[in-house]
Amino acid sequence: VTLHLNPISSVHIHQKPLVFLLNSPLPLVWKIKTERLAPGIRRLFFVSLGSVVQFEKGNFSLSAETEEKLFPEKNEHLLQWAQKEYGAVTSFTELKISRNIYIKVGE
């Protein structure tokens, strides 16, 4: 699955840390493609057990961290866990089948 990340239209270059919880019932290869995200900013990618994250060429991967995590099974529990762990959730998306996911990041 390819995760396409770029800033909302009102933000030229996104310069804030991001945390992504990438959960799947089956192990996946998550390919991260970015546009207009500032280099050197901490970005965390937590993936379900057995999954991996691949970054496109460039320096984005130097400041990104990946970690396998055992997530709660149901989406409601995952959302509650994320809110407890990080204090807020700004976006939650559930997809049954997808090869490409497009996410706009920003204020």
Q: Which segment of 14-18, 28-32, 49-53, 56-60 scores lowest on mean pLDDT?
A: 56-60
| Contact status, residue 98 vs residue 1, Cβ threshold 8 Å | yes
- pLDDT tens for residues 43-96? 999 999 999 999 987 767 778 999 999 999 899 999 999 999 888 898 899 999
Q: Which segment of 27-31, 82-86, 103-107 scores lowest on mean pLDDT?
A: 103-107
Give CA 20 to chain center in angstroms.
3
**C-alpha angle 63/61/65, rounded to 5°?**
60
